[in-house]
Amino acid sequence: MKVQILGMGCPKCKQLAANAEAAIEGGGVDAEIEKIDKLPEIMQFGVMVTPALAIDGEVKAAGKVLSAAEIRGILEGE
């Protein structure tokens, strides 16, 4: 499973990445994190507001920082 963090490196983007790492480690999920920080690549996802979280190329949330618990819930639902 690939967890993708979409954002240009702002503090909220960094927080979302940290929360995703915590969710993966805390939930024992077999996943890798990919940070996508180039605007053309972000726009290919149809995301207009960052930060955004995508799982295997499917956007799950945009424009907010999900907590580690929220991300874990998304990952377990996959």
For residue 76, is pLDDT > 90?
no
Q: What residues are annotated to the active site? A: 10, 13
Q: Hey, where are the domains in the chain?
A: 2-77
58 forms bridges with which residues in the sheet? 55
pLDDT at 77: 84
Question: pLDDT (tens digit, 9 = 90+) per residue, 25-44?
Answer: 987 888 999 999 999 999 99
Write the single-letter amino acid at 23: A
Show the tokens assigned to 52.
């955004």
Residue 59 or 30, more confident: 59
Which CATH number applies to 2-77? 3.40.30.10
pLDDT at 5: 98
pLDDT at 12: 96
Is 55 within 8 Å of 30 (Cβ atoms)?
no
At residue 11 the predicted structure's pLDDT band, cuts being 50, 70 and 90, is: very high
